[in-house]
Structure 1
Amino acid sequence: MSTPVEIESTRRRLNPQQAEKIVRMTEAAVEIVSAEGFDRLSVRDVAKRAGVAPATAYTYFSSKGHLVAEVFWRRLAVGVPEPDPAQSAHERVAQVLRGVSMVVAGEGQLGGAVTVALLGDDPESEHLRLRIGGFIHQRLAAAVGDDVDDPERIVDALQMLYAGGLVTAGMGHLTYEDTSERLVAAAELLMGPQK
């Protein structure tokens, strides 16, 4: 049985009060990153804005990278639903790729902050990077299904596509909206004609 994202964290299961603190801190982090950028973000400032003691904040988040990776993880977990089995494989893949690429669209500097955070080397960010990768792999595998030749290779290639697309958007070279549509177009080429 899966655990709702609201009551889990990288380090432990949360009671309702702890879960509320996490929500306040992740919201404060987004506000700070949007206004001032990732470089100006600190766990201490997030704690202050969220009304949480700094020592308490550090029990949940080891670094600002960990905090931003948590923001992305939470948004993915609620923003990218299971693919609809009534749709074709092409439609399911497009739904997943659009969902993943649009999670931070319109959020100013948050996309770049997520890129930096997920490339960080602290253990908590690495844990979330693996969790996020596994989640996206699962969604893509469910979307591809058995409707294409060699589904494992297609899923692997789709993972490379989305990773490259999100880094490109996170660096500011394309908008997330443009990235989303380019990912869908590339996936259609990769998957070939619909069956």
Structure 2
Amino acid sequence: MLSTRRTARQTDLLERLVGLLTAEGFASFTLDELTERLRCSKTTLYQLAGSKQELVREAVKHYFREATRSIEKQVADASAPSDRVVVYLNAVAEQLKPLSRQFLDDMTDFEPAREVYEANTRIAADRIRQLITDGVAVGAFRNVHAAFVGEVVAATMQEIQRGEISTRTGLADSEAYAELASLIVHAVSP
């Protein structure tokens, strides 16, 4: 990223870029095609990042940063520990709904984007771990190994996001997240 502070115009451009890439993927786009679709110049794109690879990484980071903000707002509104786990996983599912299969496949195949994705999956596992730990501390959940639960959630999230759960079960990603939330809450409930 060339600048940590963006103008309103740059932020708008980044959000439009995110919308385009999440809907259609990014591996097949050239910079010329991006400038045409976004109706901007290469110079304007280069103000966001210095290369196509960096631009994709910035778009993926922006997407996950905004998704995290939205998810955490929803979790803050829930008070019961089991509700917080369910809200968290359902909010993750909602944030992933607009991501096309092509975008997810491209993200998996492109190391800089995959690193962002994997880091966010680790953050999600840590968050579930914390939600479980909090629930255990107040007696809402039985005494389970929260780190293990977090790892199970992370592994399942990766399978969902790669499309493997959908292929093997026929569940849509959002349905798989709902099932995961139910499974976790029932597994840790006293």
TM-score (norm 1): 0.69
More helix by share: 2
CA distance in 1 between partners of 2:22 and 2:78 (Å): 35
- State the shift of 1:90 in Å: 2.5
Correspondence for 1:26: 18
% identical aligned pairs? 11
**Which of 140, 146, 149 is residue 151 of structure 1 equivalent to?**
146
CA distance in 1 between partners of 2:52 and 2:160 (Å): 28
- State the shift of 1:112 in Å: 1.0
- Aligned residue identity for 1:155: G
May I ask how many residue pairs the two structures share in their alignment?
176
CA distance in 2 between partners of 1:89 and 1:71 (Å): 29
Q: 1:29 to 1:12 in 2, by over 3 A?
A: same
CA distance in 2 between partners of 1:112 and 1:182 (Å): 20
Mapping of residues 28-47 of structure 1, within 5 Å: 28-30=20-22, 33=24, 40-47=28-35
Q: 1:45 to 1:174 in 2, by over 3 A?
A: farther
Matched, 1:163 2:158: yes
- State the shift of 1:81 in Å: 1.2
Correspondence for 1:183: 180
- State the shift of 1:98 in Å: 1.0
Mapping of residues 67-146 of structure 1, within 5 Å: 69-70=60-61, 72-81=63-72, 83-84=75-76, 87-105=79-97, 107=98, 110-123=99-112, 125-146=113-134
Mean Cα deviation higher: 73-82 or 174-183: 73-82
- State the shift of 1:161 in Å: 1.8
Gaps of 5+ in 2: 137-142
CA distance in 1 between partners of 2:171 and 2:114 (Å): 26
CA distance in 2 between partners of 1:25 and 1:126 (Å): 18
RMSD across aligned positions (CA): 3.2
TM-score (norm 2): 0.71
Q: Contact 1:69–1:128 at 8 Å: present in 2 too?
A: yes
Larger radius of gyration: 2
Gaps of 5+ in 1: 1-9
CA distance in 2 between partners of 1:169 and 1:101 (Å): 15
Q: 1:74 to 1:154 in 2, by over 3 A?
A: same
Secondary structure (helix, strand or coil) at the match of 1:22 reads helix
- State the shift of 1:130 in Å: 4.1
